[in-house]
Amino acid sequence: SSGVSRSADGALRVGGHDLRTVAAEHGTPAYVLDEPDLRARARGYAQAFGSAFADLAGADVYYAGKAFLSVAVARWVHEEGLRIDTSTGGELAVALRAGVPGAHLGLHGNNKSASEVRTALEAGVGRIVVDSLAEVELVASVAAETGLRAPVMLRVTTGVHAGGHEFIATAHEDQKFGLSLASGAAREAVDAVLAAPALELVGLHSHIGSQILDLGGFEVAARALLRLRAEVAATTGVLVPEVDLGGGYGVAYTGTEGTPPTAPQVAAALADVVARACADLGTPAPRISVEPGRSIVGPTTLTLYTVGTVKPVELDGGGQRLYVSVDGGMSDNLRPALYGATYTAALASRRSAARPVTARVVGKHCESGDIVVHDVALPADVRAGDLLAVPVTGAYGRSMASNYNLVPRPPVLAVGPAGVRAIVRGETVADLLALDLG
Ligand code: LLP
């Protein structure tokens, strides 16, 4: 994050706070989140979209809470001008506890329960993003039951395949999300929503994938949505007011993956696409919304670990690799094991003049795929007791953490103007035992 620096004696600091002190006071592993950096990124998106779309019909940025949500984070991004996209009753509850007005929340999901839909309606959410024809029925019936009119957005599968890994690409045909444009399901859902008195069609939605570095896919998806909107207007007279282009903007994990687009670049590119597509179609521009998660929270956080066992291993083709075990692993960062995701690591407790050697940072879990950093150069004298920092773990780190091997999940420590504070407490073995009913 932007607040990382080194002290005179070589220790890493976040927001001026020495990570040795943070580790001594809060223990490791810990996620260390730079609050001013998070606020700046959130504000950056709000401002970039506000200005890029000022001459069109305006834009809203929804922070995708699945990347990481806690009450403090929800409050901060809300204070900086973002809305929040939730995808479960749990995320919705956190955003509501933070005091975010329902009108600034959306509810996603491909398999919402009736109770999640009811909670959302009662909270007055601004949009429920409907993912299937069956869900049109579900939302209509819950709306009728509660006597509340449901604002519905329809998630459309546009056929675009984008993003870093098959598991996170979401708009090609053969996957579980959305209403297919090609099969006619999307249009059928539009007509069903327009015909249901308890439903109000507030928008069309597309999310094409995640960790996207090339913005080209957004043009294809946006054009497909805007064409559907124009067709609906021509045949029914209803001009759908809003189009959501999803999230998915990539970040730099190691610096070798290409340059991620900045918020102003994303906003300008999308505004240009929307303006040109609407001009071609001869329809007025809709209000636009987007749902970035990773690009707002990912770079704000590093994971702080303590080194334990260090083991040199001889490689088949000659040479050596140093296996550096840390006190966490796939339970606090599943991404390397699940997606082959790449990270880097740096010695955080001291400076070392030792020569760099080929190293692999591994966790403490009982499988060999428990890798934190696949390949990194670390000083040859890295040893037990050293602190290691793994940057850019703010997105899909804590939010996908598990208790594998009954390892308690680490705290999230926010570093801000008021000092260092746990915004999510670390679990203890006592917490895990409390769940076990014997
Ligand atoms: N909107 C929708 C409908 C989504 O499904 C997602 C992510 C987002 C927005 C936010 O995407 P972002 O800006 O964060 O890329 N666990 C995976 C990522 C899964 C993304 C799921 N949907 C990972 O760790 O890479």
365 CA distance to ligand 1 middle (Å): 26
How is the chain split into domains, by residue range?
Answer: 4-34+299-435, 53-292
Q: Which is nearest to 170 in space by CA: 153, 393, 179, 214? A: 179
Q: Which is nearest to 126 in space by CA: 108, 139, 107? A: 107
CATH 2.60.120.510, domain 4-34+299-435, yes or no? no
Q: Is the CB of 247 inside a 6 Å radius of any atom of ligand 1? A: yes
Hey, what are 51's tokens?
A: 């200005």
Prediction ipTM score: 0.99
The residue whose CB lies within 8 Å of the most ligand 1 atoms, and thus the one to mutate among 112, 294, 300, is: 294
Which residue's CA is minimally distant from atom 23 of ligand 1?
396
Q: How high is the pLDDT of residue 296?
A: 98
Residue 359 has pLDDT above 90, yes or no: yes
**Could you tell me which CATH class the domain 53-292 is placed in?**
alpha beta
Q: How high is the pLDDT of residue 175?
A: 83
Strands 83-86 and 59-64, how do they pair?
parallel
Residue 278 has pLDDT above 60, yes or no: yes
| 82-122 pLDDT, tens digit each | 999 999 999 999 999 999 999 999 999 999 999 999 999 99
In the chain, count of helices (H) and strands (E)? 12, 21
The residues assigned a catalytic role are 366
399 CA distance to ligand 1 middle (Å): 11
Confidence of residue 163 (pLDDT cuts 50, 70, 90): low
Q: Is the CB of 13 inside a 6 Å radius of any atom of ligand 1? A: no
Q: Is the CB of 292 inside a 6 Å radius of any atom of ligand 1? A: yes
Q: How high is the pLDDT of residue 160?
A: 85
**What predicted TM-score, i.e. pTM, was given to this entire model?**
0.97
